[in-house]
Amino acid sequence: MERCIAHLDVPDFYVTLEELRRPEWIKRPLALAENGPRAVVQGVNGMARREGIREGMPLSRARRFCRRLVTVAPDLSFYRTRHQHILESLGYFSPLVEGALPGRYFVDLTGTRRLWGPAPDVACRLEHRLAAQNGLHARIGLAANKLISQVAANCIPPGDLSCIFPGGETFFFAPLPVTFLPGVGFKTASRLADFNIRRIGQLAHLPAKSLYQVFGEAGSRLLRLARGIDSTPILPFRETPRLKVIHNLERDEIDRERLEAILFQQVEEAGWLLRRQNRCPGKFSLEIRHADGRIVKSQAFLPRVAAHVDYRLFSFILPVFKRLIQRRVAVRRMVLEFYEFSVPLRQMSLFPWEEAATRRTEKLQQAMDHIRRRFGRRAIEWGKTHEWFQAQMNAGQRG
Amino acid sequence: MPSSFVHLHVHSSYSLMRGVSSPETLCRKAKEVGFDTFALTDTNGFYGLIHFLEAARRYGIRPILGAHLQTKTEEAVILAKTPLGYEFLSDLITRRHLQESFSLIHQFPNNRLHLALLSSDPHLLTALSSHADCWMEVVAGPASRKSLKIANSLKIPPVASNAVYFAHPDDYSLHRLVRAIDLNRTLSDLPSNEVVEPQRWFKTTQQMIRHFPSSWEALANSVKLARQCHTAWDHSRTVFPYYRDRQDDHFSLLLNQCRDGIRWRYGRTNETIERRLAEELDLIVAKGYVDYFLVVADIVRRRPIHCGRGSAAASLVSYLLGITHVDPIRHNLLFGRFLNPQRRDHPDIDVDFPWDERDDLFDELLSHYGPQRMASVANHVGFGGRAAVREVAKVYGIPAGEIKEVTRRMGSWTHPGRIRERVESHPKFRAFALDPPWPEILALATRLESIPRHLAVHCGGVILVPDRVTRYVPVERSAKGNNIIQWEKDQTEQAGLVKIDLLGNRSLAVIRDTLAAVQRNTGRVLDYASLNPLDDPATLELIRRGDTMGVFYVESPAMRQLQQKTRRGDFEHLVIHSSIIRPAANRYIQEYIRRLHGVPYQPLHPDLRETLAETYGILVYQEQVVQAAMILAGFDWAEADGLRKVLSKKSTQQLSHYHQCFRDGCLRRGVSKEVVDSIWEMFTSFAGYSFCKPHSASYALVSFKAAYLKAHYPAEFMAAVISNGGGYYSTFAYVSEARRMGITVLGPDINQSEWTYGGREQTIRVGFQQLQNVHRGALEDILCERERNGPFESLEDFLLRVALSPADAPVLVKSGVLDCLAGTFNRPQILWLVEARLNSHGRSSRSSMADKPCQLNLFGRRGKIRVPSLPDLTAQQKWRQEIETLGFVLSVHPLQTLKPAIRAFPCPIVPASDLAQHIGQKVWMLGWPITRKEVVTKEGEPMEFVSFEDQTAIYEAVFFPDTFRRFCQDLDHNRAYLLHGRVENEFDAVSLTVSQLRRIALNGEQPNPLKNQPSISPPVRL
């Protein structure tokens, strides 16, 4: 059966959602950015783009470009719920809906003709529904696979439909620049430009053998892309449970001890949540983003009992941290993530006296958790994380 | 009252990247807290020894000399008890640096009389106690009790010490900082054995006594040991280079060489020559310079192309010996500037050699004079403003990009001590927020001022001693592998070691290469020494016009403008011009030009009329300062020469002293106050740097030789200029100049190009040296293969004969090197062929070539490569590839590539060649910056002179302080601008006073055509 895939793309999804929340911002340049002196623009609306503001630009520079710029902190949970909501409403038309990124949706309409009518009509209905229910205007590409539908959507303004009928793919692709192909980034494009190959059509016409001689295995993939061949299925999204503790540092930090203290706070936070939810993580990953944007990441297994005591959890994470912190560049952000959860069931030991020490620390942890439940999260703290200790350390470093 | 404790283990900042206080600070501190003696023991060296002796003398400290010798396993402080001990110690330090397997236990000399050894290592002490004067070092702190106990058990006398690394307790943070910089670490992860404890500062006797409540012996021993040490150090003896010859009577040797010189230079002698020679030789003998002259003469004879410079050019003897080439009698150069009965210091003779011949010459000298006797002078490399900021910021973990944003605003000559001033006042820092931790970083960077970082080789100084260098100063090996002494030129001079300066000079190499090219192309043989084009009309005209880009010493924009304004091209005036161009002499230059063009003038003082006649009544040369001071203020020669030295060293304190003396002297002799003031003002224009006439004359002769070659063999000359790395301008600027001279510049070619640029008739061929991002070895392989087996016939032939790496191949193709082999292929197709060959078949055939060369012939061409038809590049695409592979657009002027962007501009744009027709008008011009010079006005405001060029000519633009403040952050290298301003004319030199500047968007940064549409979403990866 001929496949029929619709791609819905809501440009500037986050900003559009913000505009819907606060309609008075529609006519003003708006940027999404965290608060703080070093924030980076994460999203812009049309007005702001016209002022020359782009994603990834430091907010301070954006403000220099445009003094009237309105900024709003991104509200990721709100965006996520809207995204879920859209997925659900699209699910009404087809069981196969993929929310690739927030604001980007693939809907598999294969075989729905007798139920819903011709595919272009359905696509229009999808768009109407999105507009009516959510106030969002999407651009829709309709084609025989994900690749073409995606490229098709990219060629039109929101609220429009671009329909590529089977057989017309080659003609549609031929005049487009190679950069429209997913997977052709700056590097590949500039390599192709060296051979003066700038349009997808030029690429599609090259003999496979020749292309292989220069690009190797990547050549055949490029050729498949250029000829619009793509058989990847629509994958409905499934969530795996994860616990993420993110810490954006107020000021770039290079001091090892202070970073360790911050990491310990993150571990405490995670430990608290894990014990409340009664879950034991089997793995964790630690991601460190340096001030120059470079990211290092590592993951490791955790023994099932680690999360019972914060200190024990920390002792497994610290070596990974030490391995990651090798560069002489300050740290801007640390993300600690736990996954592969299980319920903490434990076999009792044959030799209970061997466990006495661990039992004692567990009891201490339980007592602390108890105090916190009664008097609040900051009622009791480890010395390592206490402000006074931090201040002492600061003084020590300066002196 | 004699002190009951002496510091015998003290590090200054010359314990490189460990200590942080200068010897001067330590001496001051010692005096403050009541010590009258202490030992300076820097780690593995005597780096700051002369400074220490000088400071000690000033503060009345009796200096003890020593060193802290450290290897991987051993550590000890060694003190020189006698002058002979100093030589032993210097030798020991040298061996520590030069011998891989150095060990104190095995190499410590067998004597108790001259050296004392202080260590806390029991193993070392036991091993050496039988034959050396050993003491147990007991460092104040928790471990001291243990050390005392060991000393007791070993029966070695203990000595209290504080192993001082800084003068004041608050310098500890600086110590940690330099350690972190040195080890590439951050402050928080410094290993504890790499930093010392916070209490290692210069404590008072009382504080030290408190540390040793029960061990008076250790304290008393420090005094006892100090008494045994020699403290009356004197480094005032002079050590000259020594000439070794079979003949013992070196004077008659010198005399004979001078006689030969007279025959060579003059043909026959006359009375003037004889009188001058006798006078000079008398002084040379009296001052002990006989051997020095013989040695330098020997050195210059080894390389035919050279140029003696500096004050030695005033000497007839050096002219006769072939060291210098300007006739001092004909050009009236005074020998007194070089040697003088009253001169107490020892001037050295400087000789320039082509920059690429210097290393070979050094090796030759080393093998001739012996490595024992010869070593290069060192440079103590400290922190410049930029480096200081960069290093501290790195310790704070600031990313490289952010550091660059700050340092590029700082200017390359910012002194660390003036960082704060620059950041606060310079317009480049306007609206540039320095968030924390930057204020802290800048404050710390300021403190790195005057801390030496490492040693490097001085650009030309060598010392040559009669016996062994290590008797005088320790020797170590530089990163390049040369033997260098541990002192820089000032300390070397102060220690009485007379050095010879053998400097590298690019222009001499330019002249050499041009002469060789001329001989190759035309068969005409020109000899460097006898080339004397002072009367050649074409050369004179070229210099007069100021068309001297590429010509040695006179190619800077300021100099070319001066030539244009004065319209003089003769030798005498060129000598004046190359001296008068000084940073602080702008006013006098204007006055000079006016007088030159006939404005009548009164001499500053009637007595100076004769002295200053040749320079139109203006002080131009250093010796005129000396003469003026002698005539007006009645200074003796030594005093006047002292004034000259202080003027060029910019020492405010000493200067005010001389000012006072000068004024008093003048007033006593009845010179009016106004005259004194105006002369003093003229004196101060010599601050910074200034020249003596012999030096300028010597250089002007080289300028003339270069100008002659530029006038008669332009292609060969410009090619040689670019090949030798140019001088004042970038390669691109020289290529542009060549094009304006009517020379065709051809792109690189696989069969035609050499490594360097090649000039012939009216064409220059770009050399392989211009290719960027290619391994040098690959290009040399290509040249080698072409040399051996002839030119390449086709692409296939080229790829078979040369093993090319996949990274280098695209550069060769994109630069157009292979175009001539392509046949019907266009450039994308060549690239396709080459990449296909190297990626799959190329690689396999190459590896088989390496293993079994004979198989290549059988199976060399496996698989046929099909090159698809690809469209050829447009001109714009080719330009972009030229920028990528050569560094600039070669086939056209870069402004040509921006035509579409400029077309829409509403106002008419004046070409630079027509500038003279618009004097007094406001015009718009196109400009590509070529070179720039920032200066400070009298009011202390920064402004800038920038040379721009368009397709037609170079022109000078002035950014006065207001305009500079507005546009300095926009002005960058390697991009095009539209300039608006008024055309000014001054003595026929035209310039543009800029009032507005606009960047022209480069091709890559054109405004986004999709600006008003929603963005193209980044594709979802499938």
- Name the residue with higher pLDDT: B449 or B920: B920
Domain that holds residue A191: 5-9+78-226
Find out whether A247 and A256 touch, Cβ atoms under 8 Å. Answer: no
Instruction: Tell me the pLDDT band of A399, cut-offs 50, 70 and 90.
Output: very low
Task: Quote the CA–CA distance of B352 and B362 in Å, as a whole number.
Answer: 13
CA torsion sign for A268, A271, A275, A276 is positive
- Which of B:280-339 have CB within 8 Å of A? none
From the list B631, B618, B533, the residue with the least C-alpha distance to B579 is B618
Task: Quote the CA–CA distance of A24 and A13 in Å, as a whole number.
Answer: 17
pLDDT at residue B858, rounded to an integer = 38
CB pair distance less than 8 Å for A206 and B401: no
Residue A86 belongs to a domain: yes
CB pair distance less than 8 Å for A214 and B835: yes
Instruction: Tell me the pLDDT band of A185, cut-offs 50, 70 and 90.
Output: confident
Q: Which residue of B has its CA nearest to A47?
A: B1012
- Which of B:790-829 have CB within 8 Å of A? 810, 814, 828
CB pair distance less than 8 Å for B1014 and A50: no
pLDDT at residue B405, rounded to an integer = 86
A139–chain B nearest CA distance, Å: 11
How large is the angle between the packed helices B250-266 and B271-287, nearest 10 degrees?
Answer: 150
Average pLDDT value for residue range B196-216 = 91
Find out whether B978 and B905 touch, Cβ atoms under 8 Å. Answer: yes
- Which of A:353-392 have CB within 8 Å of B? none
Instruction: Tell me the pLDDT band of B861, cut-offs 50, 70 and 90.
Output: very low
CB pair distance less than 8 Å for A330 and B398: yes
CB pair distance less than 8 Å for A12 and B433: no
B188–chain A nearest CA distance, Å: 5
Instruction: Tell me the pLDDT band of A175, cut-offs 50, 70 and 90.
Output: very high
A6 in contact with B, Cβ within 8 Å: no
Instruction: Tell me the pLDDT band of A388, cut-offs 50, 70 and 90.
Output: low
Find out whether B557 and B956 touch, Cβ atoms under 8 Å. Answer: yes
DSSP string, A227-271: TT---PPP-------EEEEEEEEEEEE--HHHHHHHHHHHHHHHH
- Which of A:77-116 have CB within 8 Å of B? 100-101, 104
Q: Which residue of B has its CA nearest to A98?
A: B1020
Task: Quote the CA–CA distance of B603 and B593 in Å, as a whole number.
Answer: 16
B871–chain A nearest CA distance, Å: 6
Residue A262 belongs to a domain: yes
Phi, psi (degrees; rounded to nearest 5) at B15: -80, 90
- Residues A100 and A28 occupy one common structural domain: no
From the list B962, B987, B816, B830, the residue with the least C-alpha distance to B886 is B816
Tokens of A118: 């011709």
Residue A385 belongs to a domain: yes
- Give percent of chain A above pLDDT 90: 38
Average pLDDT value for residue range B776-788 = 94
Global pTM value: 0.85
Instruction: Tell me the pLDDT band of B1019, cut-offs 50, 70 and 90.
Output: low
Residue A133 belongs to a domain: yes
The answer on pLDDT for B504 being more than 70 is: yes
A203–chain B nearest CA distance, Å: 10
- Residues A301 and A214 occupy one common structural domain: no
- Residues A171 and A298 occupy one common structural domain: no
A200-257 confidence digits (pLDDT tens): 999 999 998 888 888 888 888 999 999 999 888 888 866 678 898 988 888 888 888 8
From the list A133, A156, A138, A162, the residue with the least C-alpha distance to A16 is A138
Instruction: Tell me the pLDDT band of B641, cut-offs 50, 70 and 90.
Output: confident
The answer on pLDDT for A394 being more than 60 is: no
Contacts of B1020 in chain A (CB under 8 A): 100-101, 104, 146, 150, 182
B955-988 confidence digits (pLDDT tens): 999 999 999 988 888 888 888 899 999 999 888 8
Instruction: Tell me the pLDDT band of A312, cut-offs 50, 70 and 90.
Output: confident
pLDDT at residue B2, rounded to an integer = 57
CB pair distance less than 8 Å for A255 and B828: no
DSSP string, B170-228: GGHHHHHHHHHHHHT--GGG--GGGS--TT-B---HHHHHHH-TT-HHHHHHHHHHHHH
A398 in contact with B, Cβ within 8 Å: yes
- Which of A:244-263 have CB within 8 Å of B? 251-258
- Name the residue with higher pLDDT: A291 or B222: B222
pLDDT at residue A237, rounded to an integer = 67
- Residues A304 and A325 occupy one common structural domain: yes
B1008–chain A nearest CA distance, Å: 9
B812-859 confidence digits (pLDDT tens): 999 999 999 988 899 999 999 998 888 754 444 444 344 433 333 333
Contacts of A234 in chain B (CB under 8 A): none
Pick from A194, A226, A258: which residue ends a domain?
Answer: A226
B402 in contact with A, Cβ within 8 Å: yes
CB pair distance less than 8 Å for A104 and B401: no
B53-78 confidence digits (pLDDT tens): 999 999 999 999 999 999 999 999 99
* Number of domains observed in the structure of chain A: 3
Amino acid at position A205, single letter: H
Number of Cβ within 10 Å of residue B370's Cβ equals 12
The answer on pLDDT for B791 being more than 70 is: yes
From the list A234, A196, A221, A211, the residue with the least C-alpha distance to A100 is A234
Pick from A178, A193, A226: which residue ends a domain?
Answer: A226
pLDDT at residue B851, rounded to an integer = 40
Residue A233 belongs to a domain: no
- Name the residue with higher pLDDT: A174 or A238: A174
B396 in contact with A, Cβ within 8 Å: yes
A331-355 confidence digits (pLDDT tens): 988 999 999 888 877 667 777 777 7
Among B399, B1014, B1022, select the one facing A11 at the smallest CB separation.
B1014
B211-268 confidence digits (pLDDT tens): 888 888 999 999 999 999 999 988 767 888 888 766 778 899 999 999 999 999 998 8
CB pair distance less than 8 Å for B1022 and A291: no
Among B400, B868, B1017, select the one facing A11 at the smallest CB separation.
B1017
Question: What's the CATH number where A267 sits?
Answer: 3.30.1490.100
The answer on pLDDT for B37 being more than 80 is: yes
Tokens of B49: 């020894």
CB pair distance less than 8 Å for B397 and A182: no
CB pair distance less than 8 Å for A328 and B185: yes
Instruction: Tell me the pLDDT band of A292, cut-offs 50, 70 and 90.
Output: confident
Average pLDDT value for residue range B99-114 = 90
Phi, psi (degrees; rounded to nearest 5) at B390: -60, -45
Lowest-confidence segment of B217-226, B542-551, B646-655, B803-812 by average pLDDT: B646-655
Lowest-confidence segment of A242-251, A280-289, B483-492, B854-863 by average pLDDT: B854-863
Lowest-confidence segment of A339-353, B220-234, B398-412, B727-741 by average pLDDT: A339-353
CA torsion sign for B815, B821, B826, B830 is negative
Q: Where are the alpha helices (DSSP H) in chain A?
A: 13-21, 46-50, 59-65, 76-90, 113-116, 119-134, 146-154, 169-173, 186-194, 200-204, 208-215, 217-226, 256-277, 310-324, 356-375, 387-398
Question: What's the CATH number where A188 sits?
Answer: 3.30.70.270
Number of Cβ within 10 Å of residue A363's Cβ equals 11
pLDDT at residue B650, rounded to an integer = 66
Contacts of A207 in chain B (CB under 8 A): 866, 868
Average pLDDT value for residue range B564-572 = 90
A250-278 confidence digits (pLDDT tens): 888 888 888 998 999 899 889 888 888 88
- Residues A189 and A305 occupy one common structural domain: no
Pick from A226, A260, A275: which residue ends a domain?
Answer: A226
Q: Which residue of A has its CA nearest to B826?
A: A195
Residue A55 belongs to a domain: yes
- Residues A307 and A345 occupy one common structural domain: yes
- Which of B:982-1011 have CB within 8 Å of A? 1011
A396–chain B nearest CA distance, Å: 10
Mutate to test the interface with B, among A328, A331, A394 (most CBs of B within 10 A): A328
DSSP string, A320-371: HHHHH--SSS-EEEEEEEEEEEE----PPPS-GGGGHHHHHHHHHHHHHHHH
CB pair distance less than 8 Å for A252 and B397: yes
CB pair distance less than 8 Å for A194 and B810: yes
The answer on pLDDT for A141 being more than 90 is: yes
Lowest-confidence segment of B556-560, B594-598, B645-649, B879-883 by average pLDDT: B645-649
Task: Quote the CA–CA distance of B827 and B476 in Å, as a whole number.
Answer: 53
Amino acid at position B467, single letter: D
The answer on pLDDT for B639 being more than 80 is: yes
Tokens of B579: 């001296």
Contacts of A136 in chain B (CB under 8 A): none
The answer on pLDDT for A12 being more than 70 is: yes
Contacts of B836 in chain A (CB under 8 A): 210, 213-214
Using DSSP, state whether B470 is helix, strand or coil: helix
pLDDT at residue B575, rounded to an integer = 93
B937 in contact with A, Cβ within 8 Å: no
Find out whether B686 and B648 touch, Cβ atoms under 8 Å. Answer: yes
Contacts of B840 in chain A (CB under 8 A): 212-213, 216
Task: Quote the CA–CA distance of B434 and B23 in Å, as a whole number.
Answer: 34
- Residues A293 and A168 occupy one common structural domain: no
CB pair distance less than 8 Å for A291 and B398: yes
Mutate to test the interface with A, among B177, B832, B867, B878 (most CBs of A within 10 A): B832
Task: Quote the CA–CA distance of A181 and A169 in Å, as a whole number.
Answer: 13
- Residues A115 and A180 occupy one common structural domain: yes
B173 in contact with A, Cβ within 8 Å: yes
Neighbouring C-alpha atoms within 13 Å toward the C-beta of B194: 17
- Give percent of chain B above pLDDT 90: 53
Among A195, A232, A292, select the one facing B399 at the smallest CB separation.
A292
Average pLDDT value for residue range B423-444 = 83
Question: What's the CATH number where A18 sits?
Answer: 3.40.1170.60
- Residues A187 and A295 occupy one common structural domain: no
Task: Quote the CA–CA distance of B985 and B631 in Å, as a whole number.
Answer: 39
- Residues A262 and A309 occupy one common structural domain: yes
- Residues A93 and A41 occupy one common structural domain: no
Residue A83 belongs to a domain: yes
Task: Quote the CA–CA distance of A319 and A314 in Å, as a whole number.
Answer: 9
B132-160 confidence digits (pLDDT tens): 999 999 998 888 889 999 999 999 999 99
E-strand ranges in B684-776 read 744-746, 758-760, 763-765
- Residues A247 and A393 occupy one common structural domain: yes
Find out whether B789 and B830 touch, Cβ atoms under 8 Å. Answer: no
Residue A25 belongs to a domain: yes
Tokens of B193: 């054995």
pLDDT at residue B655, rounded to an integer = 85
pLDDT at residue B787, rounded to an integer = 94
